[in-house]
Amino acid sequence: MAIEQIKMPQLGESVTEGTISNWLVSIGDKVNKYEPLAEVTTDKVNAEIPSSFSGIIKELIAEEGQTLAVGEIICTIEVEEDEPKKVEVDKLAANKSISSNSEPSSHDKDDSNKKRYSPAVLRIAQEHEINLDLVNGTGAGGRITRKDLMNFIESGAIEEQQNRKPVIEQPSNQAIELPKTQTPRIHQGDIEIPVTAVRKTIAANMVRSKHEAPHAWMMIEVDVTNLVEYRNKVKNEFKKKEGYNLTFFPFFLKAVAKALKEFPQINSMWAGDKIIQRNEINISIAVATDDSLFVPVIKAVDEKTIKGIARDITELAAKVRSGKISIEDMQGGTFTVNNTGSFGSVQSMGIINHPQAAILQVETIVKRPVVINGMIAIRDMVNLCLSLDHRVLDGVICGRFLARVKEILESTSDENTSIY
């Protein structure tokens, strides 16, 4: 017998630590190689840590909610010497169980973790309306893994399930294993809501950004009447041809990328004793789910057409909402553009996406009376709000940057702007 260590992996570029949000195994559990051991939350992405060995869980060193640096030990596994043969047998048995989607004949089957569902499993089950009672779990203690659900979906069992039981049985809070604490009441009807690991990570990142980066804020008003007319003119034909929507957001991202090319100082980050000016223009965008916020990255925006940017936005948003977003999709951002206008906001102050130097909020386009050449006209107007790290950037350069974005947007029309 040998004791092997499992350490906190580096789950993304510039990621230095991770938080154990949920253990998927317990001491004494038998695990196979590559089987998920724990769910981890970082400032980039949520992920599962797979086992590097097959064996018995000896010790869980890290506790749920604990944050560890990359390389720190999270648990130990007791590995048997004849491991390779046993791993293959276990894998064959697991595959047979998955493909048949039927209960094993052994009366000693451990189902102690059958009702312990990870957030990823719950999300997939809800999206596909899967009754989890009908899915065989191949994880430790009969726990249902993401792979089990993917096999269940691919087997066509969902349609059979819906025909047999049209009403979906939702997992209970007890099955999710929320913290079992009493709910303090200050006044009648008031409750305290437990803070999830995802929300803790978001909070920690926001505090870090506000604590480390001295935020300054600027706003500029832009007349996008011509842009609105152009987009409305081509949107139906574009949807029919390409199969996805052409929103206003790709036009804004293209304008920002052009301005970043001309003002590379904005595309920078603070690095202690130096400022790093990034060569690539990779724009982070915010995509929200019901309970989480993800910031996927569109790479090389300055090299893409408006159609290409629109496609990337559509694909990344679909990945987030289907739970298929990867670590690679979240890496490499150099500047953030947040489409706050989609919520009806007209003015907001964004918190900088650490370690970037600035974030731009694109607000709602609204029709307002504007004085032009001494006459009042109804125009489509939008506010662009920039939060900047004053260690890296000053008002002069940021003002010039915003003025250039304004110039590009106000000159956008069907006469001089190509979708392709």
Catalytic positions: 390, 394
Instruction: Evaluate whether 31 touches 140 at the Cβ level (below 8 Å).
Output: yes
- Using DSSP, state whether 180 is helix, strand or coil: coil
CA distance linking residue 132 with residue 176, whole number of Å: 12
Q: Between β-strands 268-270 and 275-277, what pairing exists: parallel, antiparallel or unpaired?
A: antiparallel
Q: Residue 111: beta bridge partners?
A: none
Q: How far apart are CA 307 and CA 193, in angstroms?
A: 42
> Which of 94, 86, 90, 91 shows the shortest CA–CA distance to 136?
94
Amino acid at 35: E
CA–CA dist 282, 301 (Å, integer)? 6
Nearest CA among 267, 236, 268, 224 for reference residue 412: 224
- Using CA atoms, how far apart are residues 212 and 378, in angstroms rounded to an integer? 43
The DSSP H or E segment spanning 206 is helix 197-212
CA distance 138 to 119: 17
Question: Beta 55-60 vs 73-79: how paired, if at all?
Answer: antiparallel
Neighbours of 47 (CB within 10 A): 20
